[in-house]
A = this chain, B = another copy of it.
Amino acid sequence: MKLYEFGLSGNCHKVRLMLSMLGVNYESYVVNGSIGEHKSADFLALNPFGQVPVLLDEAVVLRDSQAILLYLALKHPAAGFYPTAVSAQCAVQSWLSIASSEVSRGPGLLRLHHRFGKVIDVASAQQTTQQLLQVMNAALATQSWLVGNSVTIADLAMYPYLALAHEGQVNLVDYPAINQWLVAVEALPGFVTMTGIQLQQNKVNQ
């Protein structure tokens, strides 16, 4: 497998997390965004949207971080990252949609603004973020994981931009259930930070 990625992309971190937790070896190719490599003809042939991550697995070319998580989960069913019941699969899907929409339009956009200088409608992104945090916190107040009793790709799809919320000046202090869930994800075997560092807590567990 070959992963085309940016080092500081939360969407790429999702995929790296999953690959690490599955113990799958892969080649990392860091796309050079500073020279617009993601908009080059070669890269657009892999993903016409010009976005990372892209995962290559022999003849299969996958774009979209949610689709890549689903692919890895379906290829490794024994790892249990995708539930078997239809209603649970659809609950996962509803979080994957949120990862593509509200997360991107909320904490994702605020991070692009505060860390990378993108011009955005800050008030609108903050409003989206606050609603998202309220819904997530309520969901996680009654159960440890977003769907069912164990970690799924829903959690991995949601984790990176919540963990990076502070870079968008989003304070999670009022959302204790989200904080507890972040710690739980970080304690999973194989967890790696965005920059590839295994936390001490996790090292002890292994």
Contact = CB atoms under 8 A, between A and B. Distances in A.
A108 to B, nearest CB: 10
Contacts of A63: 94
Interface string A50-73: 000000000010111011101100
Interface residues of A, number: 34
Contacts of A49: 102, 131, 135
This chain: copies in complex: 2
A104 B103 CA distance: 13
A165 to B, nearest CB: 18
Nearest to A50: B131
A94 to B, nearest CB: 4
A60 B85 CA distance: 12
Interface of A, secondary structure class, is: helix
Q: Which of A71, A89, A97, A98 has the most CB of B within 10 A?
A: A97
Contacts of A70: 89-90, 93
A73 to B, nearest CB: 10
Nearest to A104: B101
Contact of A74 (B86, B94, B100, B134): B86
Contacts of A135: 48-49
A38 interface: no
A138 interface: yes
A96 interface: yes
6 contacts: A66-B94, A66-B96, A67-B94, A68-B90, A71-B87, A96-B96
Given A60-B87, A71-B87, 5 more contacts: A48-B139, A66-B97, A67-B90, A67-B91, A68-B90
